[in-house]
Amino acid sequence: MHHELQIRRFVLASWLFGVFSLSFIVGSLSIQIIEVWVINLLPLLFLSLAAAVVISCGQIDISTGGVMSLVGMTILFVYGFPANGLGSALLAHAVALTLVILLYWIYSIAVNRGVSSLLVTLSVLMLSKGASTLLQTCMQGAGELCRSSTKFAMGNATLPQQFVLPYMDNVFFATGVLAIILLLATSWRFHSRWGLEHIAVGMDQTSAKYSRIAVSKIYTLAFLTAGILVFIASLIRLHGQANGGWSANVGWGEELLAIAVAVIGGTRVTGGRFDPLSIILATAAVYTSRDIVTNDLGVPSEVASMFFGLVLFVIVWLDTRAQNFRAKHT
């Protein structure tokens, strides 16, 4: 397993090196471009880690994109409602965080009672998208449900200046966050009892129960951790100086990209494997590849998505074959 892990890291690092080489060849590589890459990949990294945490314990979460959208719209909605005395940035963030924790706590309760995580997160994905759209409609003063009962300081979802945090777009801040993520995630995964039990549940839930591991507790902690990671990703996206605004569809579809990055980064779709360094490398490789392919080479985004879908299929197929091979020869 250790040998396989090193090979995956080497392949991902080689992929990333190839991307930098291609960018250099086409003449677009510069210090400024690298800084932009480092800063802008953070939200995707947090979403991918959230997906990996849930997948590695044998579950799935496809609601992250919708929840991200809901977080941003909730913050703007509460902050822009001074008529009811709710125009507080701190309160707006607290409400959004409470909402996320509540949603992911409900996920854990449902899973612990035997409900499919796919179904419950799919339901929340649809609800989040609808709620985000409704909040944006209310903020714009449109719709019979909102027109007569809401008064906002903002007529749209444009961010007020106090929501812009310049350090969010600082390369040193982004690099520091990456280093902290790698340190904390690696310590949790390889050097904590919680991390080892988490992986054990993902490998074989029945065996974990016989080993007296509290499976329900592991699921609860996994979903709550994922929720916090999604919330952080939303804040980074919301408060970035270069973003300029927020709309109800921000984050839609990114749950699939996050799952793809998690799998490319070595997270087994059936659970039981999680490597923080590989996920960071996969995030960087996928993000920079998409940027070069679409912006520098002029390939349509639809074609790029098809290519990455093919890459994901090949990786899952090879992983399944390797798992079957090990099962036959052990």
* Model confidence pLDDT, tens digit, residues 69-94: 999 889 888 877 654 445 577 888 89
Distance (Å, whole) CA 6 – CA 102: 38
Of 18-22, 241-245, 306-310, 314-318, the one with minimum mean pLDDT is 241-245
Q: 48: pLDDT confidence band, cut at 50, 70 and 90?
A: very high
- Give the per-residue pLDDT at 126: 93
Question: Which residue shows structure tokens 């409470």?
Answer: 98
Plot region of 68 (φ>0 → left; ψ -120 to 50 → alpha; else → beta): alpha
Question: Which residue shows structure tokens 């020869």?
Answer: 329
- Give the per-residue pLDDT at 102: 95
Q: 162: pLDDT confidence band, cut at 50, 70 and 90?
A: low
Mean of the pLDDT values across residues 149-153? Answer: 46
Whether residue 288 has pLDDT greater than 80: yes
Structure tokens at 1: 């397993």
Mean of the pLDDT values across residues 39-58? Answer: 93
If you average pLDDT over every residue of the chain, what do you get? Answer: 83
Buried b / exposed e over 130-164, threshold 16 CB at 10 Å, is: ebbbbbbbbbbeeeeebeeebebebeebebeeebb
pLDDT tens per residue across span 182-233: 999 999 999 999 999 999 999 988 889 888 899 999 999 999 999 999 999 9
Q: What is the pTM of this model?
A: 0.87
- Top pLDDT among 202 and 150 is at 202
HEC-encoded secondary structure of 244-301: CCCCCCCCCCHHHHHHHHHHHCCCCCCCCCCCHHHHHHHHHHHHHHHHHHHHHCCCCH
Whether residue 156 has pLDDT greater than 50: no
End-to-end CA distance of the chain: 13
Contacts of 48 (CB under 8 A, 6+ apart): 258, 259, 261, 262, 265, 279, 282, 283
Of 6-10, 127-131, 189-193, 319-323, the one with minimum mean pLDDT is 319-323
- Give the per-residue pLDDT at 86: 52
Which residue, 116, 268, 278, is CA-closest to 204? 268
Question: Which residue shows structure tokens 């799952």?
Answer: 259
Q: 22: pLDDT confidence band, cut at 50, 70 and 90?
A: confident
| Cα 163 versus chain centre, distance | 21
Distance (Å, whole) CA 165 – CA 97: 18
- Give the per-residue pLDDT at 247: 78
- Give the per-residue pLDDT at 145: 47
Structure tokens at 297: 């080479």
| Cα 28 versus chain centre, distance | 28
Distance (Å, whole) CA 51 – CA 62: 8
Contacts for 210-213 with beta carbons within 8 Å, 24 or more apart?
none
Pinpoint the alpha helices (H) of the chain.
Answer: 2-25, 31-40, 42-55, 64-79, 89-112, 117-139, 144-147, 171-191, 193-203, 205-210, 215-239, 254-264, 276-291, 301-328
Of 113-127, 219-233, 249-263, the one with minimum mean pLDDT is 249-263
- Give the per-residue pLDDT at 262: 92
* Residue 323: C-alpha distances to residues 58, 265, 270 (Å): 16, 16, 10
- Give the per-residue pLDDT at 33: 87
Whether residue 327 has pLDDT greater than 70: no
Question: Which residue shows structure tokens 């400024």?
Answer: 32
| Residue 101 CB neighbours (<10 A) | 15
- For residue 62, the SS3 value is coil
